[in-house]
Structure 1
Amino acid sequence: MKEDRSAPNCGSAQGEPSQALSRRNFLRVSITGAAIAGAGGLASCMTGQPTTRGAGTTPKPVALYQDSPNKGRRCGGCKHFLKPNACEIVAGEISPDGWCRFYYKPLPA
């Protein structure tokens, strides 16, 4: 039996659509999906509610937090420290004299 190497099946003679996904349909579906996903992500940012600083969610053990300075580095001098006793990253009450692995010295102004 000889193979049929003619054009791929693009639908039946009655005009039924092909089961194969054409390049045009693939691009249309991909772009539409990306647009919907992007709009959903953007909508979550536009709640109209002010953002709150200090909503640190990282547990202290994960941050390796300690209540004492480490080699002169202390939370009170960190970019993420929020006076009087909070942090943008680490959850819970933070001592200005503490330290964690997320310590980041602010750049000079």
Structure 2
Amino acid sequence: MKKDRGPEVKGPAQGRSSQAVSRRKFLKVTMAGVAVTGAGALGSCMTGQPVARGAGTTPKSMARYQNSPNKGRRCGGCTHFLEPNACEIVAGEISPNGWCRFHEPRPA
């Protein structure tokens, strides 16, 4: 005797299309996509100029950054300046002869 078990449900192996993707092919395609994306992101970070670690994130406009000293105060003499051309506070390339509102003279 057969019991009535309701409508027939197909399992995961049944009803597959003939174009099933193998695990190996899926991983190859996925890894290729990751590599291309990573290379593109890395390329956009390259400016040609070395920037010190710990460089800041505040936009130059908010810091009122200028490429020239202000009353003798300059980035090269500031506690936040990172050799060769970065700042702990201000984002981007910084000139040692520049100035911004976050200037703090180095202790003598």
Show CA shifts across 1:33-65 (max 9, x none).
Answer: xxxxxxxxxxxxxxxxxxx84330100000000
Show CA shifts across 1:61-87 (max 9, x none).
Answer: 000000000000000000000011000
Structure 1 counterpart of 2:77, one-letter code: G
TM-superposed CA distance for 1:104, in Å, is 0.2
Number of residue pairs matched by the alignment = 57
Provide the rounded CA distance (Å) in 2 between the counterparts of 1:54 and 1:65. 18
1:86 alignment counterpart: 86
Percentage identity across paired residues of the two chains: 75
In structure 2, runs of 5+ residues without a counterpart are 1-51
Q: What is the CA RMSD across the aligned residues, in angstroms? A: 1.4
1:97 alignment counterpart: 97
Provide the rounded CA distance (Å) in 1 between the counterparts of 2:90 and 2:53. 12
In structure 1, runs of 5+ residues without a counterpart are 1-51
1:72 aligns with 2:78: no
Provide the rounded CA distance (Å) in 2 between the counterparts of 1:61 and 1:96. 17
Runs of at least 4 residues of structure 1 off by over 3 A?
none
TM-score by length of 2: 0.50
User: Which region of structure 1 is more displaced relative to structure 2, 52-61 or 79-88?
Assistant: 52-61
